[in-house]
């Protein structure tokens, strides 16, 4: 069995002669690359190999149960089993080598340049496991500028040069930690502010580089897309975003941010200014050792369908929104340009938003009318 170091060489890529760069340069085909990589993986990581179209695993057969033979389900004789597993000392050593795999681990895969409608960004791909390698997610880093500081393995001289040349780009870097929201970012849902916050962060780091958006696959505050859809379904029946999660027996927020700490370390970033309205994010990151020197508010205006969600974030999840997301102020006056909502395009909504006025302007009109009729 190849060591996990060998696996790391394959995954880490750029420094290895047989890395993903070899695929790019044509020295090795993508298929061969994946097969070699899978063979280099320790046994428990084979489970991570993606199945091919024919159902086989690219890294060979899946690991078989240790004791019961697959073919005839015959129980393995005890002596044979002992010979295969080794003596107590050997087993202990094996266990130690398994437990020496760090519980959470984030590995850099590759970087590319990405032109977008908002401008050009550096895009860095990572693989992150929070359970010692059983499962993984793929955080990405969307970057402008070069905020990198001293990185692991670099000579300390780099730090000295940085210090004396006054290069402070790796300090107080503007960072947005953003969690996936398929519904708004891909489908254009108007029920939350996630897609607009992402756009705001992309604009911000484009306008004042360097900056980083760490995009994490933690849909629905970590409960996953299908559960989030179930939560939305309960919200149609009148529950808010917090109670809907609870009614499903799910936590309000189960996102984990060890990958953020690891990615910042990988980049040699010493301290950050976090673009967020959520105090939990700041405290969770600080607890794991990330130096957050400041907060950059990330408030976007609500519109008809997101007003309730934002109100709940402020009132029940302690987001520092300060009422400033409201698209009307407390006197019932519009406070900023409204997102144009065409009720013809959106079509009729069911019970979801009932009682619902046809557009934002008529909601405001209704509110103004109500307040003028209210004798108090």
Q: Which of the residues are catalytic?
A: 253, 255
Q: Is 205 in the site for ligand GTP (CB under 6 A)?
A: no
What is d(CA 95, CA 97) in angstroms, rounded to the nearest whole number? 5
Q: Is 260 in the site for ligand GTP (CB under 6 A)?
A: no
- DSSP, res 358: S
What is d(CA 229, CA 223) in angstroms, rounded to the nearest whole number? 10
Q: Which of residues 261-300 bind ligand GTP (CB under 6 A)?
A: 276-278, 281, 298
- Binder to ligand GTP among 40, 194, 214, 263 (CB under 6 A)? 194
> Are residues 141 and 159 in contact, defined by beta-carbon separation less than 8 angstroms?
no
If the CB atoms of residues 34 and 191 are measured against ligand GTP, the closer one turns out to be 191
**Phi, psi torsion values for 58, nearest 5 degrees:** -65, -25
If the CB atoms of residues 23 and 272 are measured against ligand GTP, the closer one turns out to be 272
- Binder to ligand GTP among 20, 313, 338, 359 (CB under 6 A)? 313
Which of these ranges, 61-69, 174-182, 205-213, 361-369, lies near ligand GTP under the rule CB under 6 A? 174-182
What is d(CA 234, CA 227) in angstroms, rounded to the nearest whole number? 11
Which of these ranges, 3-11, 130-138, 166-174, 220-228, lies near ligand GTP under the rule CB under 6 A? 220-228
Number of H helices, E strands in the chain: 15, 7
Which of these ranges, 145-153, 155-163, 212-220, 346-354, lies near ligand GTP under the rule CB under 6 A? 212-220
- Binder to ligand GTP among 7, 141, 174, 180 (CB under 6 A)? 180
- Binder to ligand GTP among 19, 197, 258, 262 (CB under 6 A)? 197
Q: Is 223 in the site for ligand GTP (CB under 6 A)?
A: yes
> Are residues 216 and 198 in contact, defined by beta-carbon separation less than 8 angstroms?
no
Q: What is residue 52's three-state secondary structure?
A: coil
Q: Is 241 in the site for ligand GTP (CB under 6 A)?
A: yes
Cα 292 from chain centroid (whole Å) = 19
CB of 246 to ligand GTP, least distance (A): 10
Location of structure tokens 């993606």: 50
- Residues near ligand GTP (CB under 6 A), total: 22
Distances (CA, A) of 307 to 154, 214, 274, 313, 358: 48, 26, 24, 10, 15
Reading the block at residue 260, the tokens are 């953020």
Q: Is 192 in the site for ligand GTP (CB under 6 A)?
A: yes
Q: Is 301 in the site for ligand GTP (CB under 6 A)?
A: no
Q: What is residue 206's three-state secondary structure?
A: helix
Count Cβ atoms within 10 A of the Cβ of residue 289 and give its class: 0-12 exposed, 13-18 middle, 19 or more buried.
exposed
Q: Is 181 in the site for ligand GTP (CB under 6 A)?
A: yes
Footprint on this chain of ligand GTP (rule: CB under 6 A): 179-181, 192, 194, 197, 218-221, 223, 228, 231, 241, 245, 276-278, 281, 298, 313, 319
């Amino acid at each position: 069995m190849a060591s996990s170091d060998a696996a790391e060489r394959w995954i880490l890529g750029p420094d290895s002669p047989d890395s993903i760069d070899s695929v790019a340069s044509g020295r090795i085909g993508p298929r061969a690359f994946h097969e070699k990589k899978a063979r280099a993986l320790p046994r428990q990581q084979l489970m991570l190999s993606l199945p091919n179209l024919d159902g086989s695993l690219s890294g060979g057969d899946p690991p078989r149960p240790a004791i019961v033979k697959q073919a005839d389900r015959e129980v393995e004789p005890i002596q044979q089993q002992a010979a295969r597993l080794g003596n107590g000392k050997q087993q202990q050593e094996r266990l130690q080598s398994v437990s020496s795999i760090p519980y959470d681990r984030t590995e850099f895969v590759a970087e590319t340049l990405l032109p977008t409608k908002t401008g050009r960004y550096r895009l860095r791909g990572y693989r992150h496991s929070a359970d010692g390698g059983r499962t993984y997610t793929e955080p990405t880093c969307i970057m402008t500028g070069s905020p990198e500081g001293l990185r692991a393995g670099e000579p300390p001289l780099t730090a000295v040069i940085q210090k004396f040349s006054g290069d402070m780009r790796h300090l107080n870097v503007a960072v947005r930690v953003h969690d996936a929201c398929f519904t708004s970012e891909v489908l254009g849902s108007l029920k939350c502010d996630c897609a607009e916050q992402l756009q705001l962060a992309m604009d911000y780091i484009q306008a004042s580089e360097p900056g980083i958006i760490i995009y994490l696959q933690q849909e629905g505050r970590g409960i996953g897309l299908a559960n989030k859809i179930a939560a939305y379904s309960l919200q149609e029946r009148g529950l808010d975003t917090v109670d809907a999660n609870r009614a499903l027996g799910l936590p309000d927020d189960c996102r984990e941010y060890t990958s953020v700490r690891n990615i910042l370390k990988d980049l040699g970033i010493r301290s950050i200014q976090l673009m967020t309205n959520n105090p939990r994010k700041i405290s969770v990151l600080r607890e794991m050792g990330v130096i957050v020197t400041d907060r950059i508010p990330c408030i976007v205006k609500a519109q008809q369908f997101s007003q309730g969600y934002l109100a709940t974030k402020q009132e029940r999840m302690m987001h520092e929104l300060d009422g400033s997301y409201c698209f009307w102020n407390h006197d019932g006056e519009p406070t900023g340009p409204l997102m144009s909502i065409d009720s013809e395009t959106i079509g009729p909504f069911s019970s979801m938003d009932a009682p619902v006025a046809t557009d934002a302007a008529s909601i405001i009109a209704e509110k103004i009318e109500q307040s003028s009729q209210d004798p108090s």
